[in-house]
Structure 1
């Protein structure tokens, strides 16, 4: 009878692989928060009313705080934010979409914050490295989602013009939502069940807002998973250049 023997270093190799997967996942989730934070920050001085100036800034700061924690898990947060090239970013294509008009920003936030709240709620119940962050961030994201839902209702069930713009925004961004549920290695959640919950939640809000749930595909042939693979839309390069300009112009400077 031959007894199977473990190959020396197998456990260490598996641990290293698991650690690398978690680092990669932290980078992907951190990039999501970082890029959307920057997009929302672009509203400073341009929001439709003063109250929204403060609300969008607060949401942006919440996301920036999440990004700092997540990127620090993967390396130096400043280097990762300001010194990587476009193809090295792993954020979802949804979060990099331009602000457009206010309805466009609201639709983007509705889609993403609903996803993020479901994700963090599940991560809170795990024993992963993400659990402490998720336990704190899920409370922030609950506000983000509520804010987006309330504006979706106000715009969708408002004037003819606000309804038209909100419908247009929901339709335009729908094709980027399939990528939300592409499994991220190192994040152990039930992605299929989460997608079902997301669809139920978003569909309920849109219908309550008298909006039509978009019927088009939720990921095109070239967009499915593209952001996670470092493939981004045209506007991302311009946004990144603006975000990184100061740091790259004065390397090593302290303030």
Structure 2
């Protein structure tokens, strides 16, 4: 029988919810991207993230008492029950907004998954190792788009810089080590997010330089998503995502 561990479940939800919510955001581009190729590419990234979310949520649900399924966790929690980082729930905005959000997440996500691949928890390590292959591809794509947008036309550069300035408010949370993160690190399950920041920043700066974009100087202190404190953006997203399950509880098709 699986041992119940609510703290581990909460940690796993941080990983699963971030992938799930970003996947849902990207799905909204289906049929609306600037090119057919990009329409398919964004949909594929969304599907990758959804697959990762299913693995994290299934494992999280097994650690709860009573056990919950991935569907229970995705469709039957209110906003305050979600543990995704705030960056992932930010609205799509224009194409530059989406790509800068994706780039900042991908560059962090790859580092976290790399570290978690060596987790003392064998299932965390296995999920992370599988997800890392997909996340590495995501990062290549989003990095290329940041350079293309930033070093493109005057208009695309302006849009990209504005998107970066907005998203920068939320990157601090990516490296926040609260009590739960410290607990998981101490057990050898999690990783030291704060220690990843210098490597992340070096890579981000390298890409932004190629894109002729300026690194924002303002502090990036908006946080709370990992502890269930979210804004109206997530509420609206969940209303759409959970609509069918809410109006037809228990339905199967």
TM-score if structure 2 supplies the norm length? Answer: 0.90
Q: Check if 1:164 corresponds to 2:158.
A: yes
Match of 2:206 in 1: 204
1:20, distance to aligned residue in structure 2 (A): 2.8
Q: Contact 2:100–2:146 at 8 Å: present in 1 too?
A: yes
Cα deviation, 1:112-134, whole Å, max 9, x if unaligned, reads 01111000011112332310011
2: CA distance, partners of 1:91 / 1:152: 24
1:169, distance to aligned residue in structure 2 (A): 0.2
Match of 1:178 in 2: 172
- 1:17-96 mapped onto 2 (5 Å cutoff): 19-75=5-61, 76-96=69-89
2: CA distance, partners of 1:21 / 1:199: 29
1:74, distance to aligned residue in structure 2 (A): 1.5
Match of 1:154 in 2: 148
- The count of corresponding residues between Structure 1 and Structure 2 is 235
1: CA distance, partners of 2:15 / 2:199: 20
- 1:231-250 mapped onto 2 (5 Å cutoff): 231-250=229-248
Q: Contact 2:14–2:226 at 8 Å: present in 1 too?
A: yes
2: CA distance, partners of 1:172 / 1:126: 33
Q: 1:98 aligns with which of 61, 84, 91?
A: 91
In angstroms, what is the RMSD of aligned CA positions? 1.2
Of 196-205 and 148-157, deviating more is 196-205
TM-score if structure 1 supplies the norm length? Answer: 0.89
Match of 2:104 in 1: 111
Of 134-143 and 230-239, deviating more is 230-239
Secondary structure in structure 2 of the residue aligned to 1:177: helix
Match of 1:213 in 2: 215
Any unmatched runs of 5+ in structure 2?
A: 62-68
Cα deviation, 1:195-232, whole Å, max 9, x if unaligned, reads 1111111111111110111111111xxx23x1011111
